[in-house]
A and B are shown apart, each in its own frame.
Chain A
């Protein structure tokens, strides 16, 4: 009886959700219409910047009103329901690196108190700071968490340390779907297509052959109870190129666009002329306040770039905002509640290493990546930061020579060994540089099906002794259907090098499956190593609203270690490539052989020889003609 009732209620829920679906599709179409017309209007308007500023002016006023009201209803004890409030923060962190390079990390965060996925509530249709295109994507596909990154270049951990937000080369997309989704694969396929349109990337190449479902890695970074890995999908496109066409729609998602605030610094000619460029979008539900009684949606857009001091810096160890970005800051984004620039001066306590100007009295300390770092803070919402020239240009001039960088505690490399085009071996080397602490790491490898792994040859050795992983999850590949997935939990002994090797055989693809440039090779995505690294300084587990953005990305559960993710290099593997001109050659050769062979045979059998008289000279021909008339026998 209870089963029948459950069945009935389930049917009712399915019926209502199916009714709700078409309306969501419509709004998505209509929204695209609106954005199309909005964009077209702004294009026809030749003086586009004026229109944009007008809109900003109006919105700035409404922000004031919102803030006042939100202050009044903070405790939510009054029974007048508060409208959904959203806030926007932007920050730029500049970290000078020991080699003379400079690492700049932009983070833009929009926090919105609403719930896209809650059933029975009115559909969200009023968007202010949160971009509408992403909001509609989230509600249409019931996305709990979305992380997408586009990276050009490879992060060199040994030279640059750990990044604030790591990312692998190419494009990476991992999504946690809500537990109410029934067809995760269908939603995933449609989501990748929609995102490929939003970000102008070839994400539609993500399909079953390069999607995996990790069983232990990539736990949600936001709030969540159930972590059933059936709702997680992960895919990378290591060959994806990142260029201005990806940056343009990314900038358009920001509330101020690229017209005000820190985003004016994002000029593609400088950003792509760098050693490393990574732009990412992270959407997740987080705690709204310290008590964590309700959810808020957080959209983080991050852009990490490392400028090389030889190519961008012309060899001089001197950096300024103008040199890095060819722009200076003139104002904060009017829609931002906080807009700050942080410069890492931990290695420069007395000012002996480099000189920073303009000087600022504001200092801030933050524990990030297991270390306590000191930062000079420039608050762009205050007018005195911009000085008399109304333009803020940071200047860093190196005075002394910095020593060697502290070795990062966790570091990994990967390469292909072997020779020939039949077999090979993948070696992944993980270094634990901590002097006395051992810690576990979770290694996740996703290898395409055309590299057929021989798992019986998998060896994990640390300090030249066998190191048995405490957890192995292996899902073999299905040809043209599914890639290999290998996840292992390995305990790294202190101050050691662990090597994971596995042999593989290269498959021969069908001739239509080769790319137009097959001799370039085929890419294998980066391995992901997730670890809880022991930290040198106690990390704070409290969640405060005033924390700078770069230190509050990963939620901290315990004080003694911090969570870090390291990506290895992607591999470029040559597959045995057929000679595509062979069909043409074969046809030519066969036709020639047939023509010469059969033709000669036919001639031999059927050709007869006749003696041919040479044609007589003109006089004789004339004489023969007259004789024919006369009826007299002709001459010979």
Chain B
């Protein structure tokens, strides 16, 4: 299939859309997928996030370009009858957790502060690379949020909220710092459309699973696991994405049609006024996949001669005479006679005595020697 894709792209270059092919705006893709709910009965939110993760990975975005935040662990939760699995379809048809998953922020680390820091890039210097969103001005970013929400807010971990104004400001910060080329924002919560009402930065496209005043509903429970497995909107979104492959030409208008009211009960909404291109010309793989534009060459390239492995032992002729030894694991005698090392500085023992002597001497000097006679 790879060769087919490359051949298709090659013929495209050759014949018609050469200009359009190389003039597309983005060069790399990132995804920030966040599940904000804790507790076992919110299994479906983790399943939502993992199904989008699975689609995004399948379409080509590597783990190093995905920031996955799961607020609670469902797969290895003690209540899970099938550990290390998270199912999206009842009767355990599809395990979206899989065998090759890398969660960057988990458990208590999923907070509003960490989410906003990831988006704006203002992380402490010791944060590892896998936890950073290292996007640039040619990156297309997909942001997916799911959890419990309301009119103008989204609840994180049952203890704090992010408001739509904070989110809009974060995206404006990203725009001003040139951290994205185009951004697709998808939210699957109750009254999700309220979260994108306040956006004001350019090149943003947003989708939500329900309008203001409507609730997003969950899809189907599994009687063996005992909880609802997915939300309706993301379930149909997953069904739609399963048919997308890296060379697919499906565009955003198809994505807007996912889950009409007859299937979803709530009315999904979308917002494209801040987006510069026409949604019909935006491919799904522009955000969900990482389609690399490859230029095939038939010329031979000369590689440099192979590097010799560096010499590790300098002067192996001289043999070390003293042999090294292992340390005694429990040296009882040494431990008993060990003097505890005082880290805090204490003044030497005689110091206090000397200090008092000095004080007494000064006292008696100022007040005269005659007082001494009275004491002794």
Binding site for B on A (CB under 8 A): 29, 32, 35-36, 39-40, 43-47, 76-77, 79, 81-84, 113-115, 121-122, 124-126, 152, 189-190, 193-194, 196-198, 200-202, 204-205, 215-216, 219-225, 227, 229-230, 241-245, 248-249, 267-269, 271-273, 287, 291-295, 440, 442, 470-471, 473, 489, 515-517, 530-532, 554-555, 557, 563
Contact = CB atoms under 8 A, between A and B. Distances in A.
Contacts of A126: 307, 309-310
Contact of A471 (B84, B338, B341): B338
Interface in B288-322: 290, 292, 307, 309-317, 319-321
A470 B341 CA distance: 17
Interface residues of B, number: 70
B312 A83 contact: yes
A76 B312 CA distance: 13
Contacts of A222: 326
A221 B328 CA distance: 9
B336 A471 contact: yes
Interface stretch (B102-110, B163-171, B355-363): B102-110
B280 to A, nearest CB: 27
A202 B158 contact: no
B157 A516 contact: yes
A189 B158 contact: no
B336 to A, nearest CB: 5
6 contacts: A115-B312, A204-B109, A241-B76, A269-B85, A516-B157, A530-B330
A516 B38 contact: yes
A363 B64 CA distance: 46
Given A39-B63, A516-B157, A193 B128 contact: yes
A198 B104 CA distance: 10
B363 to A, nearest CB: 37
A197 B67 CA distance: 11
B310 A125 contact: yes
Nearest to A66: B309
Contacts of A271: 84
Interface in B306-356: 307, 309-317, 319-321, 323-332, 335-336, 338, 340-341
B62 interface: yes
Contacts of A121: 312, 314
Interface in B76-115: 76, 82-85, 97-104, 106-109
Given A81-B316, A121-B312, A190 B324 contact: no
B335 A489 contact: yes
Contacts of A125: 310
Contacts of A36: 62, 64-65, 129
A210 to B, nearest CB: 14
B324 A249 contact: no
Given A40-B62, A122-B310, A442-B330, A243 B109 contact: no
A376 to B, nearest CB: 30
Nearest to A112: B312
A517 B127 CA distance: 25
B62 A215 contact: no
A40 B109 contact: no
A516 to B, nearest CB: 4
B243 interface: no
Nearest to A541: B326
B286 to A, nearest CB: 16
A532 B99 contact: no
Nearest to A267: B99
Interface string B1-27: 110000000000000000000000000
Given A81-B314, A200-B102, A245-B103, A223 B128 contact: no
Interface string B158-183: 11000000000000000000000000
A229 B327 CA distance: 13
B103 A200 contact: yes
B130 interface: yes
B73 A531 contact: no
B328 A76 contact: no
A84 B102 contact: no
A579 to B, nearest CB: 14
Contacts of A83: 309, 311-312
Contacts of A225: 324
Contacts of B99: 244, 248, 267-269
B297 to A, nearest CB: 17
A292 B335 CA distance: 26
B217 interface: no
A43 B62 contact: yes
Given A40-B62, A82-B316, A222-B326, A489 B332 contact: yes
A241 B330 contact: no
Contacts of A32: 129
B330 A531 contact: yes
Given A126-B307, A222-B326, 14 more contacts: A40-B62, A40-B64, A43-B290, A84-B309, A202-B109, A221-B326, A227-B327, A244-B84, A244-B97, A249-B102, A292-B323, A516-B38, A516-B158, A532-B332
